[in-house]
Amino acid sequence: MTAAPSAPQRTPAVPRREVRTLRTAVGADPARGVFVALALTLAIGWVVVALDGGQLLNQSSVVSLLHVATGLGLVAAGQTLVILGGSLDLSVGYVVSLSTLIAAETMNGSDSRIGPAILLVMAVSVAVGLVNGFLVATVGINAFIATLGVGLLLKGYLENGYDGPAGSTAPTLVQTLGYQRVGPVPVAFLLFLAVAAAIWFALRRTRYGHHLVAVGGDAQVARLSGVRNDRVLILSHVLCALCAGLAGVYLASRLGSGAPRVGVESFYDLESIAAVVLGGAALAGGRGGVVGTVGGVLLLASVDSVFNQLDVDAFFKQVVRGVIIIAAVALYARRRHRRHRERNGARS
């Protein structure tokens, strides 16, 4: 860069030196919107709760907010990868449930079996991810149907084998991952942040990350550039399932046992997709990032928290969620449309 400024600049719109880091479309622009929304939500929420005579961000509410964010966040972090690649995963809810059961049943209340339990969860998650990835990338089934089908397979297994909670999570894991905190911040939330950071790093600094965004952006371009699209997509599905498995381990620690319906009752499949899209990602792939997803997750969790504090009906919360999701995406769509028009206008 510094070596090459000799040539005269024809249109010095962007001075080269200023842009040394790779500030790419991933994460940068749309993510800002979701954090603005988050700040607004917290500010308005704080005022409203204060008028109601409460305090929005007290110790217990922050803790529960972060716990809500952790479960959804782990799933959504993985979902980000598949959505970036132009796919999606509707089986995550069942993978979460299944993982709580595998973890809790394998541990069966014994600390010594934490290791094997986690390994087993990971192995099963990888297997599910491989199946998803194979169906989507190799066979070429629409991701919606493929992962829905795999979800149904798992659902049948769960409903056939379990009526209610089963197994028992190792006490150490419950104490640490489930309940231990650093100040108001649960350890599990830190784990979520670590996962998000790892994904963020992978997207920027690994070939896999670069290739994934390319596959989602334009599969044909990626292929002609020498990217092995199917491998990239399969790996993404595996990582997504692994994240869901991790969420399962966390929930097992939180609940103390395996819960066959926890993933579905929490709407993790659709909510994780909503969180990713709230973070500015395009459902069609190729645009978005994990930073935005973290924002989307925190936004959903905050709305939750505000309404909890106000003692608002749980169902009203859901209505508001629906409205927020649609409104946010409408805003993104509007902004992008305007930018698109400007660019086209400039062309001729």
Partner 1 sequence: MVTIRSETAESGGDPPLLELRGITKAFLDVRVLHGIDLDLRRGEVHAVVGENGAGKSTLMKIISGVYPPDGGSVALDGRPVSFRSPRQAQSAGVGIIHQEFNLLPERTVAENVFLGHEPLRRGLVDTRTMLRRTAELLDAVGETSFAPTARVGGLGVARQQVVEIVKALALDARLLIMDEPTAALADHEVELLYGLVRRLQERGIGVLYVSHRLVEVFDLSSRITVLKDGRRVTTVPTARTSQDQLVRHMVGRELAHYYPPRAEPGRADEVRLSIRNGANDRLRGVDLDLRAGEVLGIAGLQGSGRSALARAVFGVAPFTSGEVRLGGRPVRLRTVRSAVRAGIVYITEDRKGEGIAARQSVLDNALLAGRAVFPRWAGRAARTVRVRELLAAVEVRAAGDQQEIRFLSGGNQQKVVLARWLALSPRVLLFDEPTRGIDVGAKSAIHDLVRRLARDGAAVLMISSELPELLGMSDRIVVMRDGAVAGELPAQATEEDVMGLATGAVRGEPR
Partner 2 sequence: MTAEVTREPEGAAARPVAGGVVRGRLVRPGGVLPIVVILALLLVLIAIQQPDFFQPASLLSFLGRSAPIIILAAGQYFVIVSGEFDLSVGSLVTAQVVVAARLIDSDPGRTWPVVLLLFGFGLLVGVANGLVTTTLRVPSFITTLGMYLILVGAVYLWSDGAPRGGLSDEFRRFGRLAFEDVPLLGRLPYALLVLLAVAVLLLLFSRSDAGRTLVAVGDNPRTAELTGVRVGRTKTVAFVISGLAATVAAILLGGYSGVSFQAGLGLEFTAITAVVLGGVALGGGRGALLGAMLGALTLETLFTLMNFYGVSGALKSTVQGLIILAAVSVGALRRR
Interface with partner 1 (CB under 8 A): 1, 3-4, 7-11, 13-16, 19-25, 204-207, 209-211, 213-214, 217-218, 220-222, 224-227, 286-287, 343, 345-348
From the CB of 5, what's the least distance to partner 2, in Å? Answer: 42
Angle (nearest 5°) at CA 272 between 270 and 276: 115
Residue 218 interacts, among partner 2, partner 1, none and using kind-specific CB cut-offs from 5 to 8 Å, with partner 1
Q: Which does 193 bind (CB under 5 to 8 A by kind): partner 2, partner 1, none?
A: none
**Which of residues 152 and 221 has its CB atom nearest to partner 2 in the complex?**
152
Query: What's 99-136 look like in SS3?
Result: HHHHHHHHHCCCHHHHHHHHHHHHHHHHHHHHHHHHHH
Binding of residue 156 to partner 2 (CB under 8 A): yes
Q: Is 139 in the site for partner 2 (CB under 8 A)?
A: yes
Smallest separation, CB 38 to partner 1 (Å): 24
Q: Which does 313 bind (CB under 5 to 8 A by kind): partner 2, partner 1, none?
A: partner 2
Dihedral angle at the C-alpha atoms of 179, 182, 185, 186, nearest 10 degrees?
-20
Length of the chain: 348
Binding partner at 20 among partner 1, partner 2, none, C-beta below 5 to 8 Å by kind: partner 1
CB–CB of 222/229 below 8 Å?
yes
Among 52, 111, 159, 265, contact with partner 2 (rule: CB under 8 A): 159
The residue among 195 and 275 lying less far from partner 2, judged by its C-beta, is 275
* Amino acid letter, residue 4: A
Q: Stretches 52-60, 154-162, 176-184, 225-233: which one binds partner 2 (CB under 8 A)? A: 154-162
Three-state SS for 15?
Answer: coil
Nearest Cα to Cα of residue 143 among 132, 130, 156, 131: 132
Nearer to partner 1, 17 or 183 (CB): 17
Identify which range of 5-13, 66-74, 181-189, 272-280 contacts partner 2 by CB under 8 A: 272-280
Q: Choose the one of partner 2, partner 1, none that binds residue 13, judging by a C-beta under 5 to 8 angstroms depending on kind.
A: partner 1
- The smaller minimum CB distance to partner 1, of residues 37 and 222, is found at 222
In angstroms, the CA 149 to CA 147 distance is: 5
The pair of structure tokens assigned to 227 is 């990217």
Quick one: CA torsion of 148, 291, 219, 228, rounded to 10 degrees?
-90
Q: How far is the CB of 199 from partner 1 (least distance, A)?
A: 14
Q: Which of 31, 41, 155, 291 binds partner 2 (CB under 8 A)?
A: 155
Q: Does 277 bind partner 2 (CB under 8 A)?
A: yes
CB under 8 Å to 11, separation ≥6 — which residues?
A: none
Q: Does 341 bind partner 2 (CB under 8 A)?
A: no
End-to-end CA distance of the chain: 31
Euclidean distance between CA atoms 15 and 8, whole angstroms: 12
Q: Which of 283, 339, 341, 342 binds partner 2 (CB under 8 A)?
A: 283
Q: Is 164 left (phi over 0), alpha (psi -120 to 50) or beta?
A: beta
Name which of 111 and 159 has its Cβ closer to partner 2: 159
Contacts of partner 2 in 309-328 (CB under 8 A): 313-323, 325-326
Contact 75, 243 (CB under 8 A): yes
- Tell me which residue has tokens 């309940």: 179
Contact 177, 247 (CB under 8 A): no
Under the criterion CB under 8 A, does residue 63 sit at the interface with partner 2? no
Q: Name the 3-class secondary structure at 181.
A: strand
DSSP class of 262: H
Among 207, 337, 339, 341, binds partner 2 (CB under 8 A): 337
Half-sphere exposure of 103 (CA within 13 A, CB side): 33
Where does this chain bind partner 2 (CB under 8 A)? 135, 139-142, 144-146, 148-153, 155-157, 159-161, 270, 273-274, 277, 283-284, 313-323, 325-326, 329-330, 333-334, 337
